[in-house]
Homo-oligomer: A and B are copies of this chain.
Amino acid sequence: MFTIKWNGDSVTILDQRLLPKKEVYNTYRHYRDVADSIRNMETRGAPAIGITAAMGIALAAQNVSFKNVDGFREEMNRVCDAFAATRPTAVNLFAAITRMKNIIAQGNDPAAVRQLLEKEAMAVYNEDIEANKAMGKNGSKYISDGDVVMTHCNAGALATGGYGTALGVIRAAVEQGKKIKVFACETRPYLQGARLTAWELLNDKIPVTLITDSMSGHFMRTGVIKKVIVGADRVAANGDVANKIGTYNHAVLAKENGIPFYVAAPLSTLDPATKSGEDIIIEERGIEEVAFVMDQQIAPEGISIRNPAFDVTPAKYVTAIITEKGVIENPATQGITKFLKS
């Protein structure tokens, strides 16, 4: 199993929309198809879409037609803009695009730039996996033998180059010999928990129990869940966390029940340029994701629906932000800026 793969002249992507029923990989030679795969959630997860965009841009560099180096730059910047327009909330996407844009801006030989873009895309990919393993190591000390750990959405291998952020922390704890049980929230509307986290952990033989999102409080209040760990799509300067819709609910419930709430966030999701959660754009997706589950219509015709894909968890609910560089404990007291400068 892999999430994304670079083939030299194409990109292969696991179609996560078909999981857990079918494991289908699609290979794309044109960058537009790669951008579409982000937009339509064939691939998803903040780190994974950063990697996919980088690979898509490297792919485009092989195919764009141009007259001179200025034309090449112009075309490639257009490509970068197309990727930037796919999804607005995760900062990794923009971080990856910026890395590619810097290379485009600096080079004067399209052939050399093309090679550098390919190298950079692979660096984005490899650094992500390394970061996940380091994050796992840094976070695993917070997970004790025998813990039942709840997670929301999929911050696993499927959301990243591999290994995972939140699930990476769990994997690291399991590799240390700790016996861990995971409670996976199904994560409506798109069911990343039921479809992806459950599938991924089942594949890895890590014990996992599926619950609906609305059950989190019940299992916290009755003492079943001991820890919560989630990923992040963007962390603002003050420590506020944008993550999959429902994260805020779990965070408030964890605090109310005295349960630690951890956010596993690679440095690529830390965004000191965004002052607070209020400044983060929350993507609102199509109503069909709520009105239908797969092809089953669950709501009456003509009903009004809201579908924000993310929410903001204020820093005061976060026990610690775990990164590959170290841990920011109690982010409400210090934000992320001091840590990033240290």
Interface set of A (CB-CB < 8 Å, partner B): 20-21, 183, 185-189, 191, 194-195, 198-199, 202, 207-219, 221, 245-246, 248-249, 252-253, 256, 290-291, 293-306, 308, 311-312
B304 touches A217 (CB 8 A): no
Task: Compute how far the CA of A312 lies from the CA of B223 in the bound complex, rounded to whole angstroms.
Answer: 13
Contact flag A221-B248 (CB < 8 Å), given A20-B300, A296-B293 = yes
Contact flag A290-B210 (CB < 8 Å), given A298-B186, A300-B20 = yes
Task: Compute how far the CA of A290 lies from the CA of B81 in the bound complex, rounded to whole angstroms.
Answer: 40
Contact flag A213-B195 (CB < 8 Å), given A248-B221, A295-B296, A306-B219 = no
Q: Mind listing 15 A-B residue pairs with CB under 8 Å?
A: A21-B297, A185-B214, A188-B213, A191-B298, A209-B303, A209-B304, A210-B299, A210-B306, A212-B245, A215-B308, A218-B245, A219-B306, A221-B248, A256-B256, A296-B296
- Residues of B near A213 (CB, < 8 A) are 188, 212-214, 246
B212 touches A189 (CB 8 A): yes
| 10 closest residue pairs by CB, A with B | A214-B246, A20-B300, A293-B293, A218-B311, A188-B212, A217-B249, A213-B214, A294-B296, A209-B304, A217-B248
B199 touches A300 (CB 8 A): yes
- Residues of B near A248 (CB, < 8 A) are 217-218, 221
With both beta carbons as reference points, the residue of chain B lying nearest to A221 in the complex is identified as: B248
